[in-house]
Chains A and B, each alone.
Chain A
């Protein structure tokens, strides 16, 4: 009995953490290694490793010289920028309003979070109808002020904007709640001394609140980078019928993930799809590093700005 309980104390921790490592090993780590192997083969859908031809880095070389691939990179980056920058700015503004003394707090918080529980598919379908050329609400409103009608899918810029609004609608409230949480942990006396110094409210927002939120802003920027560069469902459903994976007649809104799925679903080339997956991973890595340095460089301004306010 005592021996049993010694065994229990010694080995059960390993037993409890084992499921994670077993499942992740099979369905997370192994596919990661396998992607690298696959990317070096000419591998058709439905065949096995021994039936595929080894091609080394040919797949990588092929895509780095492929206009369609770079077009997908451009579209992805543009939609990422067009969605992330307004998204985080508006989230900050919204969080600032939610942070005031207001009635029905929970109601407002829930209200702005509702978009986030709506699925990408539902959001995209509804917005695509709102953007439809002839009977869409958005063209109707624009028509009232004499613009349009715009065929949103027809050009790169208009489709980027339309897709970006879908992403923004879904994520502004979520990010606002994250900023709100960080705002509430800022000590109030910081604002008291700034008020004594006569700093206006908007000045306090930009020179006190925003700098204090920098760690949280870095966090949301990195999360948005990882999510935004994998953009897929919104542009796919925005494309409607035909060959939606191509993202429009001239690939004007095909993202990298759609390009990946094109290799997979339309060309049945698993090796090439795996190669695009690696290139996408590199893209995410590069942008995460750039964004990290960009946002942490801003962080260094913090003490200087605070001093300026204090010395007034």
Chain B
């Protein structure tokens, strides 16, 4: 028995192979981003050299100046538009998901299971399927080339409702809701002052995921915003990479600035994001 336990203990001990795998994985994960920063901080001539540069330089400022002056990319507009879209969609998704999740987890009504099943079915439909008619709708309503057309289809999320329902059913005790009812709280008041505060960890995770998804979204904005004057940041990047393909320093300054907001969020909330992915995996 003792020998067996020892062997099992050994199982969890890190071997040289473990470190090789981890360090290798870490370096490969970080290197492309590091290289992006190197190129973004060098002048363009040093990029077109063999061997390629490996150490950051001091040219970031002038690269960013060229980037912001680039009229075909509209990079600043792109940054602002992406911030507006990602923030707007995040607030909407978090609000409507927590409201519906609360209803599904804690309120009794006819057809509750049927409605929940319907939401789960909607999660199976790939977004690509509806893109063409969506464009046609936005065109007919005169919304194409506006940020509304980018945001409207994503204001609710089946995944969000499901996640909030799962969380609310375990995080909010029924007694708490009963007590609030006895005190004369209306249902919305209960949601706002009892349920929403209890849902805070799940709200944070859903909000982070939604914001990152929207910030990085590419295909639908490309269809919805045909006008190059009014891009999201990802569309700016695409135009940059196609128009000035030889000025890598400028293009990489653009990709670096576009990644930066998410990198900051990731450094601040990485633990929650990892927790969200891992908890979701166990439930699935």
Contacts and interface: CB of A to CB of B under 8 A. Distances in A.
A135 B129 contact: no
A195 interface: yes
A73 to B, nearest CB: 14
A38 B277 contact: no
Nearest to B267: A110
A282 to B, nearest CB: 10
A128 B242 CA distance: 12
Nearest to B21: A97
Given A5-B186, A98-B22, A196-B7, A177 B13 contact: no
Interface of A is mostly: helix
Given A114-B266, A181-B279, A232-B219, A195 B8 contact: yes
B129 A130 contact: no
Interface in A60-86: none
Contacts of B240: 125
B166 interface: no
Contact of B14 (A94, A102, A219): A102
B230 interface: no
Interface string B130-154: 1111111101100000000000110
A135 B128 CA distance: 36
Contact of B278 (A137, A181, A236): A181
Interface of B is mostly: helix
Chain B: interface size category: 35 or more
Given A17-B104, A111-B30, A115-B29, A100 B281 contact: no
A241 interface: yes
B88 to A, nearest CB: 13
A54 interface: no
Nearest to B274: A109
Contact of A112 (B1, B25, B103, B219): B25
Nearest to B153: A27
A81 B134 CA distance: 30
Given A27-B152, A35-B129, A257-B128, A106 B14 contact: no
Given A31-B137, A169-B28, A230 B7 contact: no
A177 B281 contact: yes
A118 interface: yes
Interface stretch (A18-26, A154-162, A299-307): A18-26
Interface in A167-221: 169, 172-174, 176-182, 185, 188, 191-193, 195-196, 201, 204, 216, 219
A164 interface: no
A220 to B, nearest CB: 9
Nearest to A284: B126
A271 to B, nearest CB: 9
A101 B278 contact: no
A102 B267 CA distance: 21
Nearest to A197: B4
Most buried by B among A117, A123, A180: A117
Given A121-B218, A125-B255, 5 more contacts: A16-B191, A20-B97, A24-B158, A110-B270, A277-B128
11 contacts: A13-B187, A20-B96, A28-B125, A31-B130, A31-B132, A106-B274, A108-B25, A126-B255, A173-B29, A241-B242, A264-B223
Nearest first, the 10 A-B pairs at minimum CB distance are A31-B130, A195-B7, A196-B4, A34-B133, A181-B278, A119-B216, A27-B153, A178-B281, A13-B109, A31-B133
Interface of B: 1, 3-5, 7-8, 10-15, 17-18, 21-22, 25-26, 28-30, 32-33, 35-36, 39, 47-52, 96-97, 99-100, 102-104, 107-109, 112, 115, 118-119, 122, 125-126, 128-137, 139-140, 152-153, 155-156, 158, 161, 186-188, 191, 212, 215-216, 218-219, 223, 234, 237-238, 240-243, 245, 248, 251-252, 255, 258-259, 262-263, 265-266, 270-271, 273-274, 277-279, 281-282, 284
